[in-house]
Amino acid sequence: MTGSVADVRRSALGVLMPGFVGTELPGWVDALLCQGLGGVCLFGHNVDTPAQVAALTASIRNANPHAVVAIDEEGGDVSRLHQRTGSPFPGNAVLGRIDDVDTTRAVGQSVGTQLADVGIHLTFAPDADVNSNPDNPVIGVRSFGADPVAVAAHTAAWTDGVQAAGVAACAKHFPGHGDTATDSHVSEPVVTADAATLAGRELVPFRAAIDAGTRAIMTSHIRVPALDPDAVATFSPVILEELLRDELGFDGVVVTDALDMAGASGTIGMPAAAVAAISAGADLLCLGSSSSSTEVEALVDALMNADLAGELSPGRLAGAAERCGALARWATDRQGSGSEHRRTAGEVVVDVRRVASSFTLSERAERLLAGPPPSVRWVRIEPEPNIAVGDTPLGPFFDGGAVPSLVVPLDDRGVAADVASEPDVLTLVVGRELHRDAGALAAAATIAAPGEALVVDLGFVDSDLVDIATFGASRLVGEALLALVEGSA
């Protein structure tokens, strides 16, 4: 192998960030890291305990000190570090409702401290999307809200906080995934807003993130015809180079959302998607949660062939790999210096009373919860699966929390008819984004009909049936809901 070809292979490896299954570093990942693999993305199935994660990241750095170690830790419903137990943070929508940027900055610092303590360089957060569509199936409470100015302020604060702890922020999902009604994990969403609306809504928080110094921005696999009618954002040089780089002035790392998602590779396959993303201006390619050595080598071959054949701009692949290495070095240097801006591990940033104060309650809920704590029973309406959130405890139903007397499953909403009212017992019917699931909404209505129940929604709400809206389903939000019902919030 000639030096030139060897350099191209190293650059091709240097832009790839696979995931893997297991809590220890597989041999094939270790080998590719030693050859120059650019990064590794950790998912919930890679996380057991903080000590285990720290050992895992140490093994990654041992194989390649310049590899980016990333994770999708938003500090709310989407929490890979706390996926098994539920997040101790409130989530963006609750922070947006509390509307105190100092608190948001402190949460970002706390998340960053936890990540830095286990050796993670990059978190795919904050979510900078403006949640303008109540039917959005994938953003929802991951957003700070529907007001672009407020979302921008909290995006900047969270970015500042997490990076002060030595962990790179990655604002997402550029150029804005909030006004979609489908999920790019399984489809190709389209944002139909005109250019003026996009500039005054979707782009506002990303401008704020760039001004705050975010080290990375994540692309979305969505089509935005007003910006580029021919390509999804991840594959669009108009969006990534002309808009993000030239107009907005971003000079950090452009990270793709996972390329195994249908919105990216569903019709063209992973190798072609990798080449298209690099050609468009992306730097670091997130491949997905369970890559294989065969898959990675196929992408390396595709990128090498494209570069050697002149299908990529001269220096494009090597420049992307250098940006990725620089990001890892930035985080390593910041974490190695022992940032004075880290917070004390386990420090309470937002207590349950403050979280509960962000909830909305109907007049009926306020009346029923105003007196002595009632005797309660819990009914959980299983929500439709959310790929971004994954398998994690739902709000108050964490280990040691509320125990449901009945679970209304996805495949049999009719069991709700079996719930009979009990004298002097208040039934709490808990679901998430009930308005998006006709069967779940009907089940909640059936249980609530006798008047002995309160309907609780753990997401954004678009139904008059709901008595308590929490705007999040993290463990902390669940604890706040329990405290509210018990009269201690």
Task: Return the active site residues.
Answer: 257
Closest CA to 201 of 139, 145, 282, 271: 145
CA atoms within 13 A on the CB side of 35: 20
Q: Give the residues across from 407 on adjacent strands.
A: 380
Strand partners for 68: 39
CB 102 within 8 A of CB 354: no
CB 152 within 8 A of CB 202: no
Omega within 30 of 0 (cis) for the link into 396: no
Distance CA 193, CA 195 (A): 7
- In this structure, are residues 187 and 135 in contact, taking their beta carbons and an 8 Å threshold? no
Q: Which are the contacts of 300, defined by CB distance < 8 A and separation ≥ 6?
A: 9, 12, 13, 16
CA 373 to each of CA 163, 362, 364, 450, 483: distance values in angstroms, whole numbers, following the listed order = 42, 17, 15, 21, 10
For residues 351 and 90, is the Cβ–Cβ distance under 8 A? no
Whole-angstrom distance, CA of residue 5 vs CA of residue 3 = 6
Are 92 and 144 within 8 A, CB to CB?
yes
Query: Buried (b) or exposed (e) across 284-322, using 16+ Cβ within 10 A?
Result: bbbbbbebeeebbeebbebbbebbeeeebeeebbbebbe
Neighbours of 32 (CB within 10 A): 24
Q: Report the alpha-carbon distance of residue 20 to residue 33 in Å, rounded.
A: 13
How far, in Å, CA of 72 to CA of 78, rounded?
7
Tokens of 383: 């929500």
